[in-house]
Chains A and B, each alone.
Chain A
Amino acid sequence: MSGKTRTELTAGGNLRDTLREFGLPRLIIAAFLLLMFIIAPFTGVNFWAQITNVINRFSWNAVLVLAMVPMVHSGCGLNFGLPVGIIAGLLGATLSIEFGFTGFASFVMAILIATPFALAFGMAYGWLLNKIKGGEMMIATYVGFSVVSFFCMMWLVLPYKKPDMAWGFEGTGLRTTFPVDKYYGGVLSNFLKIEIGKLVIPTGALLFFAFLAFLMWAFLHTKTGTAMTAVGSNPTFARAAGIHVDRIRMLSVVMSTWLAAIGILVYEQGFGFVQLYNAPFNMALPAVSAILIGGATANKASITNVVIGTILFQGIVTMTPTVMNGLINLDISEVLRMVVSNGMILYALTRKSEVSR
């Protein structure tokens, strides 16, 4: 209500408030991306090819970013333990291929096989996070790392036989990277694909994300969903209102883990390759910073944040190298990406009002 009176008092103050809410770093990133799009045509880069690129990358990554939402809502903070779910997804992917499924069936089977793993991992992970309330983010990071490094050994040891993914003669485990074009590569992206000149829209993948995002939105408006938000914003109050805080938190972690498992499968069908071993180490931070760039905070995140954040983040990742290369023949995109994404996380961590619970 006080906000309303202030609005009436000064329009300038209102603008400043909106700006503050939007956040300076976000504004800079958005402006930077806009600048990239404006410059792009002058550097001889095809504008529509770039747009296609951004949409494609969006369709690969959006589900992984969506996986952040439930844990943020329940007050578990940013899910730095995303690799736990990614490993479940990788288990689903490799087992589905090992069992000989192909095409769309292999994608469905990968999801089906990944689900029990994601549930089991998610429950263990959620149980642990309930034990250490308040220190979730750091521990999540290291739980993720431990699981990834444990599975580094497992990929070597588990008796996979399919020659497409296992090392040929000696049979010592899986390859680090292998293509999935024989299996579920592009099953979503190529579904109802729209091509207008240079512009290509992976309709299927976008629809799949929209479907999951809609489910998430609907869930957050159910009774359990609102309870989750309540737990996140005020656990003491939630407990007083008779909500099982630990159970809700557990649910959010399981959801997040399952979405991460689905997310990596969607990523692989777009990217075309499965990456094992050390690859999942580097997957949490981009997703975390994407949702933060989209305007989420450590305890508040919406579907809009996911969409905006993924577009901005992937936009910068895809646009900068091409534009920079065309402009000054210098590719500093990797460095820029590290500085921007980690800088964004740092910014969120140092905001007192935003993170404190």
Chain B
Amino acid sequence: MRKILFRAGTILVLLIIAAVMFFIGRGHTIYFDNKNLDYEGTRYEAVRRINVSVNGEQVARLSKKERGMATCMGQSFQFDIEVIREKNGESEFYSYSLSLPYGMDGIIVNLPGIMSGLPQDAWMSEFIPAPEPPDEENEELPGEEDFDPAGEI
């Protein structure tokens, strides 16, 4: 009886760890856009320069119409931006904290949109990678035993 409980406990603990890993290990790529955004008939203009940093480390310096990226594990993501609207002008600093949708690998965040305080669906969208050109050459498929003397181990 004790044995069964012990085993069930071990399995349960492993399952819980696995479940936790699913959430804290889920990787996302976040793309920051400094681009014009049209939302409900209004245009939110891109800004002269935005510097994006994550955990105090600068990940992107974006001029107008540029895109930067960062990676993130887990569903909560914090980043800071420094906005410079005019040449030699004052910097404005903002911090944002997002909760990322689990199902999206790549997430585009439109910075002018988020700065204007729009609802999330206005400035967040999924990044869909361009479909790869169909590879005509046949990929090499395995044989009985692929023996490669130069194989690294």
Contact = CB atoms under 8 A, between A and B. Distances in A.
Nearest to A331: B141
A338 B144 contact: yes
B58 to A, nearest CB: 51
Contacts of B56: none
Interface string A253-285: 000000000000000000000000010011001
Nearest to B149: A152
A334 B143 contact: yes
A281 B145 contact: yes
A12 to B, nearest CB: 42
A149 B147 CA distance: 11
Interface in A287-307: none
A334 B147 contact: no
Interface in B123-153: 141-145, 147, 149
A334 B141 CA distance: 10
A278 B149 CA distance: 9
A338 B149 CA distance: 22
B143 A278 contact: no
B148 to A, nearest CB: 9
Interface string A332-354: 00100110000000000000000
Interface string A145-167: 00001001000000000000000
Contacts of B147: 278, 281
For the residues of A in contact with B, the DSSP-based class is helix
Interface footprint category on A? under 10
A285 B144 CA distance: 10
Contacts of A281: 145, 147
Contacts of B144: 282, 285, 334, 337-338
B139 to A, nearest CB: 14
Nearest to A277: B149
Nearest to A338: B144
B140 to A, nearest CB: 13
B23 to A, nearest CB: 36
Contacts of A334: 141-144
B150 to A, nearest CB: 12
A222 B46 CA distance: 97
Contacts of A149: 149
Contacts of A338: 144
Interface in A36-63: none
A152 B150 CA distance: 13
A331 to B, nearest CB: 9
A334 B143 CA distance: 7
Interface string B82-117: 000000000000000000000000000000000000
A327 B79 CA distance: 56
Nearest to A285: B144
A337 B144 CA distance: 9
A290 to B, nearest CB: 14
B64 to A, nearest CB: 51
A285 B145 CA distance: 11
Most buried by A among B143, B144, B145: B144
A22 B62 CA distance: 76
Interface string B12-51: 0000000000000000000000000000000000000000
Contacts of A152: 149
A57 B144 CA distance: 18
A281 B147 CA distance: 9
12 contacts: A149-B149, A152-B149, A278-B147, A281-B145, A281-B147, A282-B145, A285-B144, A334-B141, A334-B142, A334-B143, A334-B144, A338-B144
Interface of B: 141-145, 147, 149
Please name the 3 residue pairs, one residue from A and one from B, whose CB atoms are nearest each other, closest first: A278-B147, A282-B144, A281-B147
Given A282-B144, A282-B145, A334-B144, 4 more contacts: A278-B147, A281-B145, A281-B147, A334-B142
